[in-house]
A and B are shown apart, each in its own frame.
Chain A
């Protein structure tokens, strides 16, 4: 899905409704991944009720948002998970949900296989337990593989294996491809963001410049590998990668969190990017009228990147990555492929890194019991 510049300019001015809406159903999670974007763990008592969640789905359907990316926390922990999924797909709102797989036993797999308009992304962060569990916790890799086995045995059809690219697992790209193929699954790779608990691990875990170059070449040869437009900052290296290649925050993308707060994108759960709450006047009103979103749809300045010949390719990169590493919006992306981001970080005398204002991390370590 390539988009030439005129269409991209339109997108930067915002659409009538998001193309890509992410809805974190719950902050509750039975894992405690070190890079969790939403700092999940404990359920928030203010979580949307089943009735509120259904009303939100009705509004999503009325806005003709074709599908919603459901995540968490672990969305399957919500007791009304299947009820909400069925409420959505019954009115042709497709559901793509991300899960750690721990709740996909044989029965759940069968039930999921019976639902149309449903995509499942199972997360692992390494091609083996050793690599993956370092990030996602002991036992999490085996649990995810059991979920994949169960989906395969239930004839679910094609699911997705979702991996956040780190310094360690970026060396396993070919193995991930083999693993996905063995299940007839699609491979989905996304960028490690310094958001949520990722603030703590981004410095040590993000891929090196050299690894990012390799990843770019690998992706360029494999347009069928899904990335959710994650790596548009790498498009400065040459031909654009698949996708819109722009920061969609508040323009074509946004996030609804478990308590109904609307943020500009899934990677900026922070007061500074809070646009409103669906409990006030509904989601459409936030999308259309929020001052934050209106300002994000104004033409921005290229800032420090104005003199770079590749600005048109990467548009200065990811807003969230800059924000949570302590850079200004006018600075280059911290992972700028030409090293300008690293230089900008090094040049700051004082670096203030914001931390999430909605931290739901659990205070006690998590153990996953084997089934």
Chain B
């Protein structure tokens, strides 16, 4: 069972996941659960790729996205966590 998404914690792109850039954003494929997920904006792809460079998801979002977009991205990351695309340490 995975923990609920907590934006104050550290998160990173799972090692099991490959990202392939596309015009609309990216395709993400989880090699173990075989799930294919569509990331529908370049910004979200950027956030997901760089997430692991920051101490917490909040810090990553503070550095990468506009403040008024923060909540939207937290929701998106929570969805990605449910799909096991991102994980904690």
User: Which residues in A have some Cβ–Cβ distance to B below 8 Å?
Assistant: 1, 3, 7, 10, 13, 15-17, 19, 64, 66-67, 92, 94, 117, 119
> 5 closest pairs, A vs B, by CB?
A66-B29, A64-B20, A10-B24, A15-B22, A16-B22
Do B20 and A66 have beta carbons less than 8 Å apart? yes
Do B34 and A94 have beta carbons less than 8 Å apart? yes
Do B18 and A64 have beta carbons less than 8 Å apart? yes
**Contacts A7-B38, A7-B40 given; does A117 touch B31 at CB 8 Å:** yes
Return the chain B residue nearest A20 by Cβ. Answer: B36
**Contacts A7-B40, A66-B29, A67-B29 given; does A16 touch B34 at CB 8 Å:** no
In the assembled complex, B68 has its CB within 8 A of some CB on chain A: no
In the assembled complex, B55 has its CB within 8 A of some CB on chain A: no
In the assembled complex, B21 has its CB within 8 A of some CB on chain A: yes
Do A19 and B34 have beta carbons less than 8 Å apart? no
Query: For window 1-59 of chain B, which residues contact chain A by CB distance below 8 Å?
Result: 18, 20-24, 27, 29, 31, 34, 36, 38, 40
B residues near A7, Cβ cutoff 8 Å: 24, 38, 40
**Contacts A66-B31, A67-B29 given; does A92 touch B22 at CB 8 Å:** no
**A16: contacting residue among B21, B29, B40, CB under 8 A:** B21
Minimum CB–CB distance from B46 to chain A (whole Å) comes to: 17
A residues near B36, Cβ cutoff 8 Å: 1, 19, 66
Number of interface residues of B (CB under 8 A): 13
A19 to B40, CA, bound (A): 15
**B34: contacting residue among A3, A15, A64, A119, CB under 8 A:** A119
A residues near B21, Cβ cutoff 8 Å: 16
A3 to B37, CA, bound (A): 10
Minimum CB–CB distance from B34 to chain A (whole Å) comes to: 7
B residues near A16, Cβ cutoff 8 Å: 20-23
B residues near A67, Cβ cutoff 8 Å: 29, 34
A residues near B31, Cβ cutoff 8 Å: 66, 92, 94, 117
A117 to B31, CA, bound (A): 7
**B18: contacting residue among A1, A10, A66, CB under 8 A:** A66
A16 to B36, CA, bound (A): 16
Minimum CB–CB distance from B37 to chain A (whole Å) comes to: 8
A92 to B34, CA, bound (A): 12
B residues near A94, Cβ cutoff 8 Å: 31, 34
A119 to B23, CA, bound (A): 29
Minimum CB–CB distance from A228 to chain B (whole Å) comes to: 12
Minimum CB–CB distance from A285 to chain B (whole Å) comes to: 18
B residues near A17, Cβ cutoff 8 Å: 20
Minimum CB–CB distance from B82 to chain A (whole Å) comes to: 14
Return the chain A residue nearest B24 by Cβ. Answer: A10
**B27: contacting residue among A13, A19, A117, A119, CB under 8 A:** A19
A64 to B29, CA, bound (A): 10
